Structure 1
Amino acid sequence: MIIGNMFKFSLFALITSLIVAASSANSRIFSVLDYGAIGDGHTDDTKAFAKAWEATCGSSSSSPTMHVPWGKAFLIHPISFSGPCKSKGVNVEIDGDVIAPREPSEWRCGGDGCERWIHIESVDGISVGGHGMIDGRGDKWWQAVKQGNRNQRRPTAFEIAKSNNVTLGGGLMFKDSPRMQVVLNHLNSVNVSNIVVRAPEDSPNTDGIHVTGCTDAFIDRSIVGTGDDCISIVDGSSFITISNIICGPGHGISIGSLGKHGANGRVENIKVSDAVFIGTQNGARIKTWQGGKGYARNILFERILSHESRNTIVIDQFYCDHEQCGISDSAVQISNVTYRKVLGTSKGEAAVKLDCSKAVPCRDIVVEDIELVSSDDKKATFECNNVYGKAQGRRVVPYNPCLNLM
């Protein structure tokens, strides 16, 4: 009996060890340290990251993981992680800090500047997570812009492009990009949650999360404070859901800009809910250029809380950034936009400003249960031009005197 029990135990242990070994083989972890990374914040670890990615992407394991370990700072130059990979479930786990070169002159760029720092492309099923920090160290780049050098091409810190079934989150922090912080570029089915994005209020063009050409995107439970739009949604994006966002400082959550230099901009089916704007320049904003074409339609902003935002609700069909602009008979059509349950304080006099084109008026604009009061001694106002829509609900404050009935 004892021998029989021992045999059963040995057999169980053998089977268990085989299962564990098989599981380990099917989910291999490729640490950048195993490929020569040092992580002292000074040594160039770019080649080690490239080798670790090559091994991860080339692995036939069911869920291979490229790992950036905790407790170290890895200095890397512009790098691209390209697919397609053998596995459809590749993971990148960033628990340590990834830092850029401090001086713009130290970046290994070609020509007149860098376009991107960390770039992931054509990797279906990619999941990027961890509790580390991605630091673009952009202050020297910003200084050049403030001194008048707007022609220097500054890099985006982190971009995922041309991929399906993308996940980004898990506690990552993105900090001080030279330009845009996180770019989602032509992705289908993407989920972003639990990230923090930070840059100073005066850092130029440092959009927090920039969405371009994406469909079926979910951005949730994140904190974004930056020098430009907290979240910007531009041409070719549809079915975008944004919720549980704390935004500030920054320029708010923006649709656009669209239609620059006559472009055909198309954005539709956007829902923004449960967002808090703290001291932002704008809140819920749609911005388009004169002379553009296309549409921004089927857009909902609801359950929005504003704390001393300068302009909480904005539609601007005359957006013009650092250029000389005129009036045109062509404009991006803005229609079927609803602002529902928007509450709080506005630091600017115009809490609601809907400025639309006479040639292409805004249509089907609805404000419902709005209550925005001034945070100073001025009276908050509701301003609009060439807008067709209605105000409804139990309360609309400030009073709306200017919406044309639909």
Structure 2
Amino acid sequence: MEPKCILLLLLYFSTVAKSAYNVVDFGAKPDGRTDSTNAFLAAWAEACGDQNPATMVVPSGPFLVGRALFQGPCKNNKLGLIIKGTILGKTGYSDASEWITFKYVKGLSIYGGTFNARGQWLWACKAAGRNCPNGSTALTISQAKNVLLSKVKIQNSQNFQIAIIFSQEIKVEGATITAPGNSPNTDGIHIHMSSFITIIGSAMATGDDCISLGEGVSNAWIENIKCGPGHGISIGSLGDGTETTMVQNVTVSSVVFRGTQNGFRVKTWATPSSKGFVRGVTFQHGTMKNVGNPIMIDQNYCPVPGNCPNESSGIKISKVTFSDVHGTSSTQVAVNLDCSKSNPCQGIQLTNIKLSYKRKNHELAKSFCRNVKGKNSGFVVLLVAFDMGQENYVKIF
């Protein structure tokens, strides 16, 4: 190759190589005390404004960051955020609904790092019964497309740990999400009005749902999850207003629940004014370890007793499968399918279910089924734990 051609190639690759923007170069201090919010936003502005692939770098150390909106659209669709240190939220709390937000971005990859929102002050306020705000979501992905969260750690959010809203093609892999079991509303990952969402190989220990899917969620794949403590993996709650809602094409696979309030759950409000549907959902390969409600459809959800007297959910639930679910239930009703009297569940299928209930006065595990049309195949076995050979084969449908 001619020397001139080699020189041109070197010049070309030097222009397309990723530029790195280190937050320390913009004034951030890794001391956990200095407010580095503006430095982070300045580094983001440079990386986002770079027309070539770019990387924003957060080195080792604790960085104090307040409310921060990292906004696009950016001038490149190959933007990386590499976090080696810890991002600390400020102490106390405010009325802000979000802490760290990535909005209007496309082609963003976030690797590593710890986000510690330090939500203890707000939890204490709520525990004391004072007039407190709802709290901030630690990490929000909003109106974004093609975003990767890889090996991030989220800790002690005031409210939801991660929220994915109005977005498409979002992947979360290898996430570790932790908050005390008694922390209020600290869902691990909440998904709302989003499609083509993948969550794999992650662990959640929270004070609410490990993963919750709200209205407008479609084409979601959730696999290889460790959940507990927490409230399980839930679709809903849905239908608390008059708007039309839908959830469809969801698969939840290979989940280990440990000491959770629920396992696989669908819940809708008992309000006839609600409209919409849940359909095409598969819950499979679930391991239950002392779980309160391993399998549950609750269409009579009414958090405030007495507020929904003799009412019935307007949400239609169909084509929901529970397959290969085994382990132990901490309550006697291991399978609870309580559907709407005005909109009975259709096409519910149970396949290869084997759940046990720890013996108490020789009681057998039970199933509850109301307003359900479906079938079971393989086997459905409910048994007393530790009683060898004493099994109760239950025909649910």
TM-score by length of 2: 0.91
1:57 partnered with 2:48: yes
Report the Cα distance in structure 1 between the residues aligned to 2:176 and 2:352, rounded to whole angstroms.
30
Structure 1 residues 307 and 215 mapped into 2: Cα distance closer, same or farther (>3 Å)?
A: same
Structure 1 residues 355 and 38 mapped into 2: Cα distance closer, same or farther (>3 Å)?
A: same
2:389 match: none
Write the letter of the residue equivalent to 1:382.
S
Write the letter of the residue equivalent to 1:279.
G
1:129 partnered with 2:111: yes
Report the Cα distance in structure 2 between the residues aligned to 1:100 and 1:392, rounded to whole angstroms.
50
Unmatched tracts of structure 2, length 5 or more? 384-391
Report the Cα distance in structure 1 between the residues aligned to 2:281 and 2:251, rounded to whole angstroms.
6
- Structure 1 vs Structure 2: percent identity of aligned residues? 38
2:284 match: 302
Report the Cα distance in structure 1 between the residues aligned to 2:15 and 2:23, rounded to whole angstroms.
18
Report the Cα distance in structure 2 between the residues aligned to 1:152 and 1:181, rounded to whole angstroms.
16
Write the letter of the residue equivalent to 1:80.
L
2:207 match: 227
1:162 match: 143
1:239 match: 219
1:253 match: 233
User: Is contact 1:391–1:400 with CA below 8 Å preserved after alignment?
Assistant: no
Report the Cα distance in structure 2 between the residues aligned to 1:317 and 1:202, rounded to whole angstroms.
25
1:166, distance to aligned residue in structure 2 (A): 1.2
User: Is contact 2:348–2:372 with CA below 8 Å preserved after alignment?
Assistant: yes
1:320 to 302, 305, 318: 302
Unmatched tracts of structure 1, length 5 or more? 1-7
2:386 match: none
2:119 to 122, 127, 138: 138
Report the Cα distance in structure 2 between the residues aligned to 1:250 and 1:310, rounded to whole angstroms.
11
2:351 match: 368
- How do residues 168-179 of structure 1 correspond to structure 2 at under 5 angstroms? 168-169=149-150, 171-179=151-159
- How do residues 3-402 of structure 1 correspond to structure 2 at under 5 angstroms? 19=10, 22-23=13-14, 26-61=17-52, 63-70=53-60, 72-104=61-93, 109=94, 113-130=95-112, 132-149=113-130, 152-169=133-150, 171-291=151-271, 292-322=274-304, 324-377=307-360, 378-397=363-382
Task: Indicate the SS of the match to 1:55.
Answer: helix
1:80, distance to aligned residue in structure 2 (A): 0.1
Task: Indicate the SS of the match to 1:34.
Answer: helix
User: Is contact 1:60–1:86 with CA below 8 Å preserved after alignment?
Assistant: yes
Report the Cα distance in structure 2 between the residues aligned to 1:51 and 1:226, rounded to whole angstroms.
33
C-alpha distance after superposition, 1:224-254 (max 9, x if no partner): 1100000000100001010000001000010
1:26, distance to aligned residue in structure 2 (A): 2.5
1:379, distance to aligned residue in structure 2 (A): 2.5
Report the Cα distance in structure 2 between the residues aligned to 1:115 and 1:34, rounded to whole angstroms.
30
TM-score by length of 1: 0.90
Report the Cα distance in structure 1 between the residues aligned to 2:300 and 2:242, rounded to whole angstroms.
13
Report the Cα distance in structure 2 between the residues aligned to 1:79 and 1:250, rounded to whole angstroms.
28
Task: Indicate the SS of the match to 2:107.
Answer: coil
User: Is contact 1:387–1:403 with CA below 8 Å preserved after alignment?
Assistant: no
1:363, distance to aligned residue in structure 2 (A): 1.2
Query: Which range moved further: 236-245 or 86-95?
Result: 86-95
1:96, distance to aligned residue in structure 2 (A): 0.6
Structure 1 residues 301 and 330 mapped into 2: Cα distance closer, same or farther (>3 Å)?
A: closer
Query: Which range moved further: 222-231 or 144-153?
Result: 144-153
1:300, distance to aligned residue in structure 2 (A): 0.4
The alignment of Structure 1 onto Structure 2 pairs a total of residues equal to: 384
Report the Cα distance in structure 2 between the residues aligned to 1:219 and 1:349, rounded to whole angstroms.
31
Report the Cα distance in structure 2 between the residues aligned to 1:322 and 1:19, rounded to whole angstroms.
68
1:375, distance to aligned residue in structure 2 (A): 3.2
User: Is contact 1:334–1:362 with CA below 8 Å preserved after alignment?
Assistant: yes
User: Is contact 1:92–1:129 with CA below 8 Å preserved after alignment?
Assistant: yes
User: Is contact 2:380–2:393 with CA below 8 Å preserved after alignment?
Assistant: no
User: Is contact 2:257–2:289 with CA below 8 Å preserved after alignment?
Assistant: yes
Report the Cα distance in structure 2 between the residues aligned to 1:230 and 1:241, rounded to whole angstroms.
15
